Amino acid sequence: MTRLSIDGGDPVRERPLPYGRQFLSEEDIAVVVEALRSDWLTTGPSVDSFEKAFAESAGSREAVAVASGTAALHAATFALRIKPGDEVIVPAMTFAASANCVVFQGGTPVFADVDPGSLLIGPGEIAARVTPRTRAIIAVDYAGQPCDYDTLLATASELDLPVIADAAHSMGGRYKGRRVGSLADLNTFSLHPVKHITTGEGGVITTDDPEQARRMRTFRNHGFNVDHHTRDKQGSWFYEMTDLGYNYRLTDFQCALGTSQLRTLSERVARRQAIALRYDESLADMPAVTRLELSDDASHARHIYVILLNLERLKVDRAAVFAALRAEGIGVSVHYIPVHLHPFYRRRFGVRAGLCPVAEAAYERMLTLPMFPQMSDADADDVITALERVLGVYQN
Ligand SMILES: *Cc1c(COP(=O)(O)O)cnc(C)c1O
């Protein structure tokens, strides 16, 4: 029988494969260098051109560039005027920032459970969590698969609630042919290195509402009604602080990088989809693995490839499979610990395990496999080989 690397055998890979990695071309680097030599390091012409290119790519009227995906979510809850006493429905299976953005505004995130097949927020769950204090819904396109927006928006409109789409995973995806970024009232993106395109740190909000875009541009710049670039052009010193804002600006050279990265978005997504298809096919005959369900309505942007272990077929738990795969040189990860289980949320809002049983059960058995555009087919095959080897030894 094979000896696993964790038990002293040879690993599948000598050089570990990370779960995600950025890709910058020589052209991307040249564009940043050029921007660094220009007159503008922050808030200059590259911000406008990035926002225009992003809006065009997302199929929205407006795009607002900010310092991170988290700042984008915060700008969105600000734009919706979330305030103390307000509740916002958020799926439990997401990155903490999807819920933190409600708390930044003094509001209360109300955690909704997810569909067991797709791990996306279920419209039925939303109806169950609505109260007279509900002010908005945050939908998360978990793993890169757009939510069922027709049902979601119909539910939201019946309840007269706006929807924020946290589209950090789904940039470049589509729902019934409509582009991610044009689906909800406000759509937020992250430009962190593991995401589809990167500016180091960065984020974007898209909307068709110019007034909301204006409010968010004010919010990212201390709440000032004009930025220094515009003021300079107008030859005026005057500005007023009309709201409490932050310094959530994205620098000019980051925006230059963003515009350059955006040019290859569709190739990047296509490459992720090809790797995912390779995984889909190999995993179809692994009895200890369940794949997430895919909707026919969606073009999945494949940010992360999540599998669910069928623990009843294994002698060990997820932690042991995780450790064994890491020892084989496979950079597996876990997305995510359900947000309501974090100590902060338990302490501040008194939420407990049992609130979202589907998300909690999925968390116990999930693993994220490596996936990024520069990964080769041979890399993907190493992941499959390691999974076959580890699950073969641990099956009961
Ligand atoms: C990455 C991510 C964010 C936060 O983005 P940052 O740019 O890291 O602040 C928010 N929501 C989800 C679902 C994410 O994956």
Query: What is the Cα–Cα distance from 388 to 48, expressed in whole angstroms?
Result: 49
Q: What mean pLDDT is predicted for residues 130-138? A: 98
**CA distances in angstroms from 49 to 29, 55, 183, 198, 338, listed in the order given:** 18, 10, 22, 16, 37
Is the beta carbon of 97 within 6 A of some atom in ligand 1? yes
Tokens 């097949």 found at: 117
Query: Is the CB of 190 inside a 6 Å radius of any atom of ligand 1?
Result: yes
Q: Give the span between the Cα atoms of 95 and 342, in whole angstroms.
A: 11
Q: Provide mean pLDDT across the span 84-110.
A: 98
Tell me the per-residue pLDDT of 165-196, one tens digit each, with 9 for 90 and over.
999 999 999 999 999 999 999 999 999 999 99
With a cut of 70, say whether residue 221 has pLDDT above it. yes
Instruction: Identify the CA nearest to 12 among candidates 331, 375, 311, 291.
Output: 331
The alpha carbon of 95 and the centre of ligand 1 are apart by a number of angstroms equal to 6
Active-site residue (options: 52, 176, 195, 233): 195
pLDDT at 32 exceeding the cut of 80:
yes
CA distances from 155 to 158, 160, 354 (A): 5, 9, 25
Instruction: Please say if the pLDDT value at position 229 is more than 80.
Output: no
Nearest protein CA to atom 2 of ligand 1, as residue: 168
Residue 301 structure tokens = 């942007």
Q: Average pLDDT, whole number, for the chain?
A: 96
Under a CB-based contact definition with an 8 Å cutoff, are residues 151 and 123 in contact? yes
Is residue 83 part of the annotated active site? The answer reads: no
Residue 211 has pLDDT above 90, yes or no: yes
Q: Which of 318, 15, 323, 70 is nearest to 201 (CA)?
A: 70
Q: Which residue puts its alpha carbon closest to atom 15 of ligand 1? A: 168
**Is-above-0.85 flag for pTM?**
yes
Q: How confident is the model over 313-343, as pLDDT tens digits?
A: 999 999 999 999 999 999 999 999 999 999 9
% residues pLDDT > 90 (the chain): 95
pLDDT of residue 1 exceeding 70, the answer is no
Residue nearest to atom 14 of ligand 1 (CA): 168
Ligand 1 atom at shortest distance from the alpha carbon of 169: 15
pLDDT digits (tens, 9 = 90+) for 276-289: 999 999 999 999 99
The CB of 203 under 6 Å from ligand 1? The reply is yes
Ligand 1 close to Cβ of residue 148 (< 6 A): no
Mean pLDDT for 55-70 is: 98
Among 90, 93, 98, name the best residue to mutate to test ligand 1's pocket (greatest count of ligand atoms within 8 A of Cβ).
Answer: 98
